[in-house]
Amino acid sequence: MSSTGQREPERLVDGISLLSRLVDSVAAADELREIYAHALDGIEQALGITRSGVLLLDGEHVARFVAWRGLSDEYRKRAEKHFPWPVDAIDPPPIAVSDVMLEPSLAELQEQFRTEGIAALAFIPLVYNRRLIGKFMLYRTHA
C-alpha cells in the first residue's frame, strides 16, 4: 500500500480513468481554451493541487496566462514576467522548487508568494514541434 492507503492496482485504475476522461474532454472541446481548462482539471485531480496555470509565449516572447485555477489577478500579472528557460530552448527540463523562499531565481516573486500562500511550485515546459511554446505552472501551499 502507498502512504495514501490506496493500493497500486487501484491507483493505476484511477490514473487510467482520469486519463480517459481527459482524452474524452479534449476530443469534445470546441476551442483551444477548453483544452487548457480540461488539462488543468486533470492535473489538479491527479496531483491533489488547487492552483495551477497554463502560460503560452506570445509574439514578444512573454509568457501569458491562458488558463488558471486559484490565482489572483495580481499574482498572474507579476508571474507573467518570469520564464525559467531561454525561449529558444530545444529540450528544456521540468523544474521543481520545493521551497520558493529559498530559490534565488524567484526572489522578485517572493512577496507575491507570501500573499498567495504559495510555498512550492513546478514549471513544466510545453513544447510543440521541438519549439518551446509555454509552461504549465503547478503550485502547493506547503514546502
Domains and CATH numbers, the chain: 8-140 (3.30.450.40)
12-43 tens-digit pLDDT: 555 556 555 555 555 555 656 667 777 788 77
- If we measure between CA atoms, which residue out of 99, 94, 92 comes closest to residue 118? 99
Q: What does the mean pLDDT of the chain come to?
A: 83
Asked if 106 and 84 touch (Cβ cutoff 8 Å), the reply is: no
Q: For position 2, what pLDDT does the model report? A: 45
Q: For position 46, what pLDDT does the model report? A: 77
What number of other Cβ atoms are within 10 A of residue 143's Cβ? 11
C-alpha dihedral (126, 62, 46, 19), degrees to nearest 10: -40
Beta-carbon contacts of residue 47 (< 8 Å; ≥ 6 apart): 138
Q: What is the value of pTM for the model shown?
A: 0.76
The residue type found at 67 is A
**How many whole angstroms separate alpha carbon 69 and alpha carbon 42?**
12
More confident residue, 63 or 4: 63
